[in-house]
C-alpha cells in the first residue's frame, strides 16, 4: 500500500477542520464528480466534453511548447485512432511508455517507477475504466496534491498530428491509452501541458504516492549507498535519477545531459574477479542508452556465468541498460528516492509510525522572518511548532534516540506550476528546556540567540520539498520553517514522521492539524528482520535451508489453507533463481523470490474462488492472466498436467514453481531474441537453461 493508504486514527483528536485528503475520499478537482458526470452522459447517450480543460490551445498553454506543435493539430478520441483501444491491461510490460513533445522526462521517469507497484498504481489509475463497458468518453485519475488526494476528471480527446499519431505521451502498444490520459489529467491539475515542461522526478513521485522524498547528491554519496539502494528496492520505494547538465544533448557515452531516468533494478553479479554492484536504468525516450561498461554490447558480460548473462542482459535499444554503481555515481548528479514507508534510513525494530501534518503560511510583515542567519532579529517571527518526541513502542533503539523525519513542502500561489518559481526554503530544529514546556507563547529572539539548532547543516533549497532525517533524544523541540529571505510569502505543509510524537503550533491556530498512526502491514516488511538475521548467519542457503525458512513463515493473510513446501519444490525454486550457478541462494536472490511469492499468493487467493487451496483449470487460466503473462490455452492445459494432481488441480506450491519457470523462461527469450520470433543459443547455454532451471 502507499504511504498514506494504511493510516488509522491516533488517540489524540485533531483540532480545527476535519481531516481530509489522504485520509478520506479524495477531493474533486473543480468540483467535478466522475460518477455523476459518467451517469449523466450515459443517460443522455453523449460523450463527455470537459469545458474546464477544452480540446484547444488553451489546454496546451502559452509558451515554447506551441512552437513544437505539428501543423493542423487535431484532437481525437481513442476510438478514432484505433479499432480496439484499451485503457489499461496487465498483459503488457511495465515500461511501455514513450515521451512526446512535452519535455517532461521527469514526469515519465516517475510514472515508470510507479508501474513497479501495482497496488499504488491502482490508486492513481482506477482500474475499473474501459472503452467498452459504461464508456462515455470520460476518465479519472487521483493525485496527492499538497496534503490531500484529488480526483481529476478528463475527457478522452487527445492531441494528434495529421497522421493520427499522439503528439504527447504515447505507448509502445498503439492501442493502449492509460498513459496519455494520465498525462492529460496531470496537465489539467497543474494548469496546462506547458506547465509540465520543467520539473523534478521527486515532485511527480510524491504526487503519485503521498510519500516522502529523499535526494542524495551522488558526488557526496554516503559510504552505504548500496545498502540504501537495496533497502529502497525491497521496501517498496520509487527511484529516479538525473544526469549532469551539459552543452551536448546526447553525450558520447550515450547518456542524455540534464535528463531524468528511472531506476528499475539493482543487482550484485558474480564476476570472475569478484562481485560487482550494478544499477539498471531506463531512458523515458524508450531509446538512446549508455555505451560504457555493462552496457548492452559491453565485453563485461562475458565475465558472468551463461545463465546470469542470459537473464540480465538484453541487447536491444529499448532505453533500458545496466551500469556499474561507480559509473552511476560518476555520471549522475542526483538520486531521488520516494519512500512509501518512512523508515528507509532507519533500521529500528518495530512497524508503527506516527505521522503529523500541519498547513501554515509565511505572511509578509507578520510570519515571514527569513532564515536564522543573518536575519536573527526577524527569524523568531516565522511559524513555530512544538515537537514532543516520545519513546516509541516496541523499538529497541528508541530508548536513547529516536528516528525523526521532517518534510517541508511549499505550495505555489498560482495554479500554473511553472509561473511562480520555487522559493529557497528550509527549517531549523532547537531543543527546548523544561522552563518553556508549559508556555504556549512564541519563543523570543533571546531564545534563538542562546540556543544552537540541532541541525547544524541548514538546507535552504529552491525546490518544492526539503526533507531531513534526524536521530533525536526523547524530549521537547521547536521546528521553525522559513524562507531563506524575509518578507517572502507562501503557503507550506509541514510533515513529521517518528515512532511516537506530538506536534502542534505555538501560539497559533493552524488551519489544518492532523496526527495519525501508520502501520506497515506489508508482509515483506514484517519478515525483513527475520530474513536478515538468518542470512547474517548463513550468507548462502541451500534447498534444505530454503525449505526450513519458507515453512517457518507464518503467512498472516492465508484464508483457508496451510502452506508447505516440499524439498523437491525448493530444489526446483533454487535452480530457477540461482543465476550464478553456485547451488545456493544469496539474500539478494531470496528477496527476488520473496517478492514474487507475495505477488503469487495474492493472485492465487484472488482466483481460488471456492477457497479449496487449489486452482482448477479455469481458475488457473484466470490466475495466469491476472499476473500479466500471456500463455496459450494449450500451454496452460499442459502445465496443469505437468504441475497438477491427477484431477488437474494445482496447489500454491506448484503454482509458484510453474509461474517462476514461466517468468524466467519468458525473460530469457525476450533478452535473447532479435526479431521476437526465435533465439540463438550455444550448446552449453542451452544445457544450462534447460537442465538447471
147, three cell numbers: 496534503
**CB contact at 8 A, 308 and 668:** no
11, three cell numbers: 488517540
DSSP 8-state code for residue 421: P
Phi and psi angles of residue 627, each rounded to the nearest 5 degrees, phi first: -75, -10
DSSP 8-state code for residue 138: E
Q: Could you tell me which residues come within 8 angstroms of residue 618 by beta carbon, excluding any fewer than 6 positions away?
A: none
Q: How many residues does the chain have?
A: 693
Phi-psi region of 39 (alpha: psi -120 to 50; beta: other; left: phi over 0): alpha
Q: Could you tell me which residues come within 8 angstroms of residue 425 by beta carbon, excluding any fewer than 6 positions away?
A: 408, 410, 460, 461, 462, 463, 466, 481, 482, 483, 484, 490, 492
Cβ atoms within 10 Å of 622's Cβ, excluding its own: 16
349, three cell numbers: 525494530
Q: Is 614 a catalytic residue?
A: no
**CB contact at 8 A, 278 and 267:** yes
**What SS3 class is residue 132?**
coil
Q: Which residues pair with 512 in a beta bridge?
A: 359
Rounded Cα–Cα distance for residues 211 and 518 (Å): 12
Phi and psi angles of residue 367, each rounded to the nearest 5 degrees, phi first: -125, 25
Q: Could you tell me which residues come within 8 angstroms of residue 40 by beta carbon, excluding any fewer than 6 positions away?
A: none
243, three cell numbers: 544526469
195, three cell numbers: 506547465
Rounded Cα–Cα distance for residues 310 and 269 (Å): 13
Give me the residue label for grid cell 480496439: 84
Catalytic residue (choose from 19, 41, 105, 338): 105
Catalytic residue (choose from 117, 140, 145, 259): 259
Catalytic residue (choose from 104, 213, 283, 418): 283
How large is the angle between the packed helices 652-672 and 617-626, nearest 10 degrees?
A: 50
Instruction: Measure the CA angle with vertex 296, ends 117 and 252; round to 5°.
Output: 105
Rounded Cα–Cα distance for residues 236 and 121 (Å): 12
119, three cell numbers: 497496488
Instruction: Measure the CA angle with vertex 625, ends 136 and 172; round to 5°.
Output: 65
Rounded Cα–Cα distance for residues 92 and 108 (Å): 17
Q: Is 283 a catalytic residue?
A: yes
Q: Which residues pair with 490 in a beta bridge?
A: 362
Q: Is 105 a catalytic residue?
A: yes
- H helix intervals, 15-153: 34-44, 57-60, 65-68, 78-81, 105-114, 118-124
- What is 223-263 written as a DSSP string? TTHHHHHHHHHHTT-EEEEEEPP-SSSB-TTSPBTT-EEEE
201, three cell numbers: 522526478
The order of strands in the sheet holding 138-145 is: 27-28, 148-155, 138-145
Task: Please give the span between the terminal C-alpha atoms of the chain, in angstroms, as a whole number.
Answer: 32
DSSP 8-state code for residue 492: E
How large is the angle between the packed helices 567-577 and 587-607, nearest 10 degrees?
A: 120
Q: Which residues pair with 288 in a beta bridge?
A: none
Is the bond into 19 cis (omega within 30 degrees of 0)? no
CA 437 to centroid of chain Cα atoms:
40
**CB contact at 8 A, 550 and 569:** no
Q: Are strands 27-28 and 148-155 parallel, antiparallel or unpaired?
A: parallel
Catalytic positions? 105, 259, 283
Amino acid at each position: 500500500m502507499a504511504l498514506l493508504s494504511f493510516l488509522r486514527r491516533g488517540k489524540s483528536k485533531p483540532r480545527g477542520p476535519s481531516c481530509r485528503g489522504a485520509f478520506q475520499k479524495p477531493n474533486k478537482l473543480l468540483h467535478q464528480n466522475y460518477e455523476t458526470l459518467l451517469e449523466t452522459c450515459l443517460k443522455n447517450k453523449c460523450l463527455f466534453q470537459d469545458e474546464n480543460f477544452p480540446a484547444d490551445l488553451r489546454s496546451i498553454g502559452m509558451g515554447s511548447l506551441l512552437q513544437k506543435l505539428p501543423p493542423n493539430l487535431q484532437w481525437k478520441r481513442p476510438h478514432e485512432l484505433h479499432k480496439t483501444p484499451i485503457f489499461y491491461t496487465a498483459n503488457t510490460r511495465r515500461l511501455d511508455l514513450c515521451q512526446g513533445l512535452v519535455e517532461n522526462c521527469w514526469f515519465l521517469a516517475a510514472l515508470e517507477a510507479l508501474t513497479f507497484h501495482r497496488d499504488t498504481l491502482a490508486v492513481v489509475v482506477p482500474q475499473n475504466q474501459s472503452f467498452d463497458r459504461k464508456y462515455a468518453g470520460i476518465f479519472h485519475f487521483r493525485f496527492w496534491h499538497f496534503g490531500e488526494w484529488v480526483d481529476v476528471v478528463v475527457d478522452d480527446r487527445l492531441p494528434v498530428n495529421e497522421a493520427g499519431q499522439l503528439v504527447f505521451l504515447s505507448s509502445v502498444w498503439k492501442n493502449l491509452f492509460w498513459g496519455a490520459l494520465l498525462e492529460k489529467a496531470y496537465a489539467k491539475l497543474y494548469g496546462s501541458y506547458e506547465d509540465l515542461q520543467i520539473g523534478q522526478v521527486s515532485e511527480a513521485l510524491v504526487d503519485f504516492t503521498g510519500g516522502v522524498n529523499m535526494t542524495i547528491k551522488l558526488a557526496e554519496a554516503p559510504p552505504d549507498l548500496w545498502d540504501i539502494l537495496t533497502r529502497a528496492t525491497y521496501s517498496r520505494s520509487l527511484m529516479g535519477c538525473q544526469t549532469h547538465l551539459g552543452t551536448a544533448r546526447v553525450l558520447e557515452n550515450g547518456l542524455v545531459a540534464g535528463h531524468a531516468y528511472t531506476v528499475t533494478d539493482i543487482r550484485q553479479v558474480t564476476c570472475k574477479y569478484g562481485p560487482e554492484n550494478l544499477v539498471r536504468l531506463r531512458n523515458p525516450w524508450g531509446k538512446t542508452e549508455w555505451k560504457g561498461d555493462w552496457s548492452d554490447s559491453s565485453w563485461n558480460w562475458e565475465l558472468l556465468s551463461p545463465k546470469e548473462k542470459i537473464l540480465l542482459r538484453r541487447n536491444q535499444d529499448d532505453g533500458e541498460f545496466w551500469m556499474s554503481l561507480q559509473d552511476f555515481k560518476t555520471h549522475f548528479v542526483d538520486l531521488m528516492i520516494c519512500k512509501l514507508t518512512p523508515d528507509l534510513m532507519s533500521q529500528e525494530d518495530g512497524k508503527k509510525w506516527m505521522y503529523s501534518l500541519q498547513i501554515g503560511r509565511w505572511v509578509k510583515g507578520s510570519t515571514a522572518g527569513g532564515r536564522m542567519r543573518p536575519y536573527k532579529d526577524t527569524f523568531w517571527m516565522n511559524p513555530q511548532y512544538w515537537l514532543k518526541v516520545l519513546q516509541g513502542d516496541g523499538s529497541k533503539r528508541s530508548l536513547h534516540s529516536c528516528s525523526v523525519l521532517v518534510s517541508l513542502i511549499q505550495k505555489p500561489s498560482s495554479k500554473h506550476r511553472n509561473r511562480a518559481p520555487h522559493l529557497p526554503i528550509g527549517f531549523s530544529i532547537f531543543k527546548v528546556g523544561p522552563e518553556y514546556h508549559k508556555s504556549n507563547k512564541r519563543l523570543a529572539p533571546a531564545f534563538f540567540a542562546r540556543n544552537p539548532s540541532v541541525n547544524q547543516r541548514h538546507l535552504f533549497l529552491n525546490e518544492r520539498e526539503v526533507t531531513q532525517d534526524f536521530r533525536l533524544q526523547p524530549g521537547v523541540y521547536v521546528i521553525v520553517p522559513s524562507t531563506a529571505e524575509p518578507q517572502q510569502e507562501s503557503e507550506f505543509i509541514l510533515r513529521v514522521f517518528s515512532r511516537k510524537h506530538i506536534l502542534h503550533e505555538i501560539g497559533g491556530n493552524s488551519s489544518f492539524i492532523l496526527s495519525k498512526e501508520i502501520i506497515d502491514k506489508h508482509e515483506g516488511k514484517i519478515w525483513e528482520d527475520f530474513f536478515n538475521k538468518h542470512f547474517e548467519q548463513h550468507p548462502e542457503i541451500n534447498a534444505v535451508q530454503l525449505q526450513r525458512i519458507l515453512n517457518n513463515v507464518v503467512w498472516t493473510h492465508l484464508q483457508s489453507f496451510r502452506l508447505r513446501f516440499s524439498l523437491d519444490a525448493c530444489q526446483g525454486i533454487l535452480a530457477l533463481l540461482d543465476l550464478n550457478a553456485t547451488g545456493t541462494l544469496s539474500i539478494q536472490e531470496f528477496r527476488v523470490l520473496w517478492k514474487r511469492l507475495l505477488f503469487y499468493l495474492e493472485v492465487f487467493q484472488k482466483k481460488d474462488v471456492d477457497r479449496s487451496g487449489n486452482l482448477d483449470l479455469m481458475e488457473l487460466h484466470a490466475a495466469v492472466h491476472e499476473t500479466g503473462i500471456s500463455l496459450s490455452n494449450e500451454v496452460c492445459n499442459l502445465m496443469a498436467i505437468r504441475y497438477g494432481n491427477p484431477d488437474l488441480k494445482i496447489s500454491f506450491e506448484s503454482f509458484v514453481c510453474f509461474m517462476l519457470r514461466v517468468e524466467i523462461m519468458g525473460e530469457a527469450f525476450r533478452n535473447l531474441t532479435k526479431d521476437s520470433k526465435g533465439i540463438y543459443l550455444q550448446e552449453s547455454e542451452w544445457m544450462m537453461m534447460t537442465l538447471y532451471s
